[in-house]
Structure 1
């Protein structure tokens, strides 16, 4: 039996840096023995099927393969379709009523406690808001991520030191759920 996964690569193909062509990435996943490989957009979203049930080892294997093939390390999270669906369904904001640019999801490599965010004066950023989920952070930014002061505050490296974090807009969240349906 195989499981459907999404690999979320952090910080590739942004501003012409750390280029990873999607065709080569798909080929790399196939060389690793994965099947039904497909990429979504150019920003590091690839779905695949694997008999493995170890998300951390799948991510580590892909990170090693990318470094060998492209000469640089890329932090990678691998999440099952079931996880992606559960996190999307648990969204505390009315996703169906919002524009996709207003809602973002940051996936974390491990659970994040509220204590890490205690220094954020959340009321000072209203109407922007965030909520923690299962290895995830939901961000409502009514004017979009590029204008969000809260997103800027949440991006401070000290907040999530030692944790891999990668953010996707809600359109991508929904598309990855669709692409990973068994």
Structure 2
């Protein structure tokens, strides 16, 4: 049974979208997902399902919308996709916590970086359904403007690596 990683948008960030991870786990169980595991309080959940990726994404987003009053936005990736995201991370000299992966609901347009304003030397690179952004001074005070990031959710490379490792452990149990 495939292992999926769901990344929730705007959950437990700055006091908005509060969702205890125990509740997220319970919702996933109610949807029929199995081997449910969460990682840190920012809306990362791994599970198994026989359903297709898009169906899983839609079901989880809809269920969370009912719980939270508004759909948060859910980006789902397979274990293989997460491995590739880690393996293909650009900016090899970047500190992993200064390299964010923005997970998007669909492939970004080829011109997605054309409107980027990067006053602090930020760099970005398009991927399949992701945009990698290196923040040389960290993302906290960055004034980066990149409209293509808006529908997505980000995780730093350390978190993405940990999620990939957790998914690989789950895959190994097959």
Alignment of 1:1-182 (within 5 A): 2-52=1-51, 54-94=52-92, 97-120=93-116, 125-126=120-121, 128-149=122-143, 152-154=144-146, 156=147, 159=148, 164-181=151-168, 182=171
- The ranges of structure 1 where at least 4 consecutive aligned residues each deviate by more than 4 angstroms after the TM superposition are none
Question: Could you give the per-residue CA deviations for residues 18-60 of structure 1, whole angstroms, max 9, x where no partner exists?
Answer: 21110011011011111110101111101101112x2111111
Q: When the two structures are aligned, how many residues end up with a matched partner?
A: 169
* Cα displacement (A) at 1:7: 0.6
Q: What is the TM-score normalised by the length of structure 1?
A: 0.85
Post-superposition CA distance 1:69-119 (Å, at most 9, x none): 33332111111011011111111221xx54222111001111112313223
Kindly indicate which of the two structures has a greater share of residues assigned to helix: 1
Cα-to-partner distance string for 1:103-153 (whole Å, 9 max, x where unaligned): 11001111112313223366x653x2111111111111121111323xx21
Take 1:19 and 1:179, find their aligned partners in 2: how far apart are those partners? 24
SS in structure 1 of the partner of residue 140 of structure 2: helix
Structure 2: distance between partners of 1:143 and 1:160: 19
> Are the counterparts in 1 of residues 3 and 48 from structure 2 also a CA contact under 8 Å?
yes
* TM-score relative to the length of structure 2: 0.89
Q: Equivalents in 2 of 1:90, 1:100: separation in Å?
A: 13
| RMSD of Structure 2 on Structure 1 (CA) | 1.8
